[in-house]
Amino acid sequence: MNRFLPLVLGAGLLTLTSACVGSADAGVQPGRAIGVPLIDAALVTPQFGWVLTADQVLLTKDGGGTFTAAAVPLPNGLARTAYFRDASQGWVAATDGATITVARTADGGATWKSATVESVEPIGGLSVGFGGATDGALLAKVQTSPAFSKAHLFGTADGGATWQEKSAPVAGQVSVEPDGRLWLAGGVLGNELYTSSDHGTKWTKPSLALAQAGTIDGVAAPQDGVVSAKVSDGTATRVARLTSPDGGATWRESATAKQDKAAPAGAFHVTFASDTAGWAVASAGQCANGKQDCSVTYSVQATTDGGATWKRLVTYVEKLT
Amino acid sequence: MAYGAAMTHRRSLIALVLVAAAILYNTGTPAHASFGISQRWGVDSCGINTVAKAQAFWTHTPYSNIGVYIGGSAAACPMNSASFMTALVNMGWQIMPIWVGPQASCSSFGSRMSSNPDTAFQQGKTEAHASYLRLRSLGMSVDNTPVIYDLENYDTTNSTCVNAAKAFIRGWVTQAHVPTAQKSGVYGSTCGSGLANFATISPAPDFIDGASWDGIKSTRTMPCISSGSWTNRQRHKQYRGDHSETWNGVTLSVDNDCSNAPVYPGPDELDTGQGCL
């Protein structure tokens, strides 16, 4: 089993362990080796954010100063995802392979209810999104080789109490507009964009014109006509602002859109709660002795100046060999 | 020993040394064997498509093996550059060549095999021959080189579909074993692709590349696969899928493998403590 060891980074930077000392229900004990990888994190409002590991959901209500572990009824594992639409209402999904459990909270993580969704194929990744309190989508990536991109889509109209299977053109990341329109970014090469206005029955594939080629690691539903997409070319990640000159047939990384936001090195997930406040999840691997003594450092980093500078909030080190 | 006998023995030794020297002189530096057994970690990724990215995931990383999609009708990211393959080998990578052809007859993929077992058998042979030709065009040895057929999930309760898949893989292995023979493997979900069904066909695959994203590196832990099947250094395991990793400043989506099975080229890389056994 891989071992994750929280690191103390120095004055002013908090680790998950130190941040949770003294919290009776934190579930994160000082000095405890965290045995599973950091999967994702997001800043939802400038104060509220979440961190997802393979066995924990950690919540902060002070912008990352302190974290507490939520008691979410989910199986442990690497295929997990979370989405909070505000500081109160959120969903976390996880799978043990074929059964997907979706937990939901309406009180900021204090209490949870859950529903299960069955898949006919082994699931290896999840993405969940909501456009409001009731309409949501759950995209379940089938375990395939990298040469394929296949997923099952499930939709809900009652806030996640029940789910119905729809269709999905590819695996990837899903988001939902308030009117229920779905957005999906993914595909084998990670460079495909799809939308559906009927909750996933039919999909259209608009043309996509990025300023620089890359994979789209996530897409947010449009706000004021601008789609935010996380784009990576392997060496740099940015939040690209896409606009459409033709009613949605084409989406272009436009020079007239707001400035793209840069993410720190190694970032694979980036979220902004405002124009200035955001989080990035990053990783960096290194071996000290050829192919021995290897480790991966995962971090959640925060910016308060729109991505100009980043500061580490939490860090895990996974010892590989 | 008598003097005459000793002289004869010495002359024989000298002759042996001269013959050996002549052989070495004529062949130069011995080439790598066309396969070796690796018990190391590997990565599969459509994103490792340039020499620079391959170097980033090689230097001071734990990875020694790389799955390369060399072609097939369903290959979404085929690598068909001999110079890139040569660069990978020169860098030190040991390759798991993967062929992505027609999928199960009952699957929803665009390219599918026939549901008729006789036809599927012939299709399997055709795919194996095509992969052989691709190996050659990539400048790779074809003598005992491992080649893996990528067979994704399908309805393993559908007997018609299962029988066609078994016939297809039987054709794949049969053709691969035609001299100059390759080592014939099959990739798939350990449960969802019904890999266990192929343990009893004849000829059976020489090895498997089983996907079970449970995070357990040991190639002995494969759900739905009997512990008695493919036991003689015949298992790669894809133990984690579809996640981002950053090495030397390059971030890519990758799957992780642990191996105890053949790779291209040799030599053997045995038990390096990476937990694959």
pTM for the whole structure? 0.87
pLDDT number for residue B28: 39
Residue A223 and residue A272 in one domain: no
Q: Tell me if residue B47 falls in helix, strand or coil.
A: coil
Q: Are residues A89 and A182 in the same domain?
A: yes
Among A95-99, A158-162, B42-46, B210-214, name the one with the lowest average pLDDT. Answer: A95-99
Q: What angle do CA A149, B56, A229 make, to 5 degrees?
A: 45
Host H or E run for residue A250: strand A250-253
What local confidence, expressed as pLDDT, does residue B226 receive? 98
- Per the domain annotation, does A313 fall within a domain? yes
Where is the domain boundary, A160, A194, A228? A194
pLDDT averaged over chain B? 90
Report how many domains make up chain A: 3
In a domain, residue A237? The reply is yes
pLDDT digits (tens, 9 = 90+) for B120-159: 999 999 999 999 999 999 999 999 999 999 999 999 999 9
Asked if the Cβ–Cβ distance from A124 to B63 is below 8 Å, we say no
Distance of alpha carbon A16 from alpha carbon A2, whole angstroms: 18
On whether residue A233 sits in a domain, the answer given is: yes
Chain B residues with CB under 8 Å of A153 CB are none
Q: Does A286 touch chain B (CB under 8 A)?
A: yes
Beta bridge partners of B62: none
For residue B88, the surrounding DSSP H or E stretch is helix B82-91
Determine the Cα–Cα distance for residues A113 and A102; give it in Å rounded to an integer.
8
Summarised one tens digit per residue, pLDDT across range A101-160 is 999 999 999 999 999 999 888 999 999 999 999 999 999 999 999 999 999 999 999 999
- Each residue of A208-236: pLDDT tens digit? 888 888 888 888 888 888 888 888 888 88
Q: Is residue A40 part of a domain?
A: no
Contacting B residues, span 174-193, partner chain A, CB-CB under 8 Å: 187, 189, 191-192
Q: What is the identity of the amino acid at A184? A: L
CA distance A268 to A217: 8
Q: Which residues of B touch A264 (CB under 8 A)?
A: none
Among A262, A284, A304, the domain-final residue is A262
Question: What is the average pLDDT value for chain A, to the nearest integer?
Answer: 85
Tell me the sheet residues that pair with B7: none
* Shared domain check, A160 and A187: yes
**Residue A259 DSSP one-character state:** P
Question: What is the pLDDT, as a whole number, of residue A240?
Answer: 87
Q: What is the dihedral of CA B226, A2, A49, A314, to 10 degrees?
A: -170
Flag whether residue B66 sits within 8 Å of chain A, measured between CB atoms: no
Q: Are residues A186 and A270 in the same domain?
A: no
Domain boundary among A247, A262, A277: A262
Q: Is residue A59 part of a domain?
A: no
Residue A173 shares a structural domain with residue A92: yes
* Same domain assignment for residues A214 and A256: yes
From first CA to last CA, the distance across chain B in angstroms is: 50
Regarding whether A98 and A25 lie in a shared domain, the answer is no
For residue A174, tell me if it sits in a domain: yes
CB contact under 8 A, B215 and A78: yes
Residue A248 has pLDDT above 70, yes or no: yes
**Whether A76 and A178 share a structural domain:** yes
Q: Does A81 share its domain with A169?
A: yes
> Which carries the bigger pLDDT value, residue B11 or residue A177?
A177
- H/E element, A223: strand A215-223
- Do residues A109 and A173 share a domain? yes
Q: Give the range of the structural domain holding residue A245, as residue numbers without chain letter.
A: 206-262
Q: Are residues A255 and A270 in the same domain?
A: no
pLDDT tens, residue by residue, A9-59: 222 223 333 233 223 233 343 323 344 688 999 999 999 999 999 889 999
What number is the average pLDDT over the span A285-313?
Answer: 92
Cβ-Cβ contacts under 8 Å for A20 (sequence gap 6 or more)? A26, A27, A28, A30, A58, A66, A67, A68, A69
Distance between CA A139 and CA A150 in Å, rounded?
Answer: 10
In a domain, A218, yes or no: yes
Instruction: For residue A255, tell me if it sits in a domain.
Output: yes
Instruction: Please tell me the predicted confidence (pLDDT) of residue B11.
Output: 53
Q: Which of A120, A145, A291 sits opposite B44 (nearest CB)?
A: A145
Tell whether the model's pLDDT for residue B171 goes beyond 60. yes
The predicted complex's ipTM stands at: 0.86
Q: What is the pLDDT of residue B242?
A: 87
Q: How many CB atoms lie within 10 A of CB A245?
A: 11
Percent of chain B with pLDDT over 90: 84
A110 and A164 belong to one structural domain: yes
